[in-house]
A and B are shown apart, each in its own frame.
Chain A
């Protein structure tokens, strides 16, 4: 009998709960990512009205801001009606964002006839706002676009136009 009691007491002591326990808790984690938007305006580079006596180039150097056309050789070429650099307005939902600009190597402009009469505008990246551009605290920025127009000797008098694409993207 005494043995039974001793065994029972020992069993109770051995199986006394320790009081420690473990539990798992599953915490939900979430986040919403909005992609920043980027809007840009179209623009026109206008070399104005040019009176020329031979081959020459006209440059709009907008690398430091808005600019007007300047003939390389003023003794040959005169700008009778001033043109201007183009202006692209950039708007982002991301203040102070940095955007890269990719300019075309050249744009061929023609007189909109079937004849192969054209001129070339090149060095656009040289004479435009350098890339990249840091937008301001409101998420806006301005890109000035210039270039170099090459006029052949005997260039047909006419109105020349065309379009090119300038890409603006987040860096």
Chain B
């Protein structure tokens, strides 16, 4: 009798595990930064503080000068792309850092306004979602020439 009872318990356990369906899906997804945020090449006006923006709120975008100096955008830049992939429907919200520091040796520039100039959320029925990332580059008066680089860590809340 006792043995039969134990078998019943085991069977119920197995049935519960087999037929258990969580009420929500566990998302299997990948997040990749597939294109950098590039401000291109700028011949900087040494007389003034300049700002260069990439406004990617509504999709891929290039560089525009938003200050009064005479800097020249000699090679256009482009917005960055974060790609989220999943086989299931999902939506996501992006949380940006206040700024990022670009450096070249001992020199630096600051990129800010990520949240104002990027796509801040998106959703997909399943598949691939590209989110465009923009920002504002601050070039100081008499900024040293050279190739500057840095990174920004963007958090994605996905559900």
Q: Which residues of B contact A154 (CB under 8 A)?
A: none
Number of interface residues of A (CB under 8 A): 35
Which residue of chain B has its CB nearest to the CB of A9? B16
Assess whether A29 is in contact with B46, with CB atoms less than 8 Å apart.
Answer: no
A9 and B20 CA atoms in complex are apart in Å by 10
A9 and B143 CA atoms in complex are apart in Å by 65
Given the contacts A5-B12, A32-B41, A171-B47, A21 and B148 also touching, CB distance less than 8 Å: no
Assess whether B26 is in contact with A17, with CB atoms less than 8 Å apart.
Answer: yes
Number of interface residues of B (CB under 8 A): 63
Assess whether A94 is in contact with B43, with CB atoms less than 8 Å apart.
Answer: yes
Q: Which residues of A contact B70 (CB under 8 A)?
A: 94-98
Assess whether B24 is in contact with A29, with CB atoms less than 8 Å apart.
Answer: no
Given the contacts A8-B16, A18-B24, A95-B70, A30 and B45 also touching, CB distance less than 8 Å: no
Pick from A9, A20, A28, A34: contact of B44, CB under 8 Å: A34
Given the contacts A8-B16, A170-B47, A34 and B42 also touching, CB distance less than 8 Å: yes
Given the contacts A16-B23, A25-B32, A30 and B39 also touching, CB distance less than 8 Å: yes
Assess whether B147 is in contact with A35, with CB atoms less than 8 Å apart.
Answer: no
Q: Tell me if A93 counts as interface (CB < 8 A to partner B).
A: yes
Assess whether A27 is in contact with B37, with CB atoms less than 8 Å apart.
Answer: yes
Q: Which residues of A contact B159 (CB under 8 A)?
A: 18-21
A31 and B140 CA atoms in complex are apart in Å by 13
Q: Tell me if B66 counts as interface (CB < 8 A to partner A).
A: no
A92 and B12 CA atoms in complex are apart in Å by 84
Q: Which residues of B contact A116 (CB under 8 A)?
A: none
Q: Tell me if B102 counts as interface (CB < 8 A to partner A).
A: yes
Assess whether B42 is in contact with A98, with CB atoms less than 8 Å apart.
Answer: no
Interface centre among A4, A30, A36, A98 (most CB of B within 10 A): A30
Assess whether A24 is in contact with B42, with CB atoms less than 8 Å apart.
Answer: no
Q: Tell me if B67 counts as interface (CB < 8 A to partner A).
A: no
Pick from B13, B38, B133, B150: contact of A8, CB under 8 Å: B13
Could you list some 23 contacts between A and B, CB below 8 A? A5-B12, A8-B13, A9-B16, A17-B24, A18-B159, A22-B156, A23-B29, A24-B153, A24-B156, A25-B31, A25-B32, A27-B151, A27-B153, A31-B137, A32-B75, A33-B109, A33-B139, A33-B143, A33-B144, A33-B148, A34-B42, A97-B70, A170-B46
A: residues with CB less than 8 A from B are 1, 4-5, 8-9, 12, 16-36, 93-98, 170-171
Beyond the given pairs A27-B151, A35-B43, 12 more chain A to chain B contacts, judged by CB atoms under 8 angstroms and listed by A's residue number, are A1-B9, A19-B27, A25-B82, A26-B152, A28-B36, A28-B37, A30-B38, A31-B52, A31-B102, A33-B139, A95-B70, A170-B45
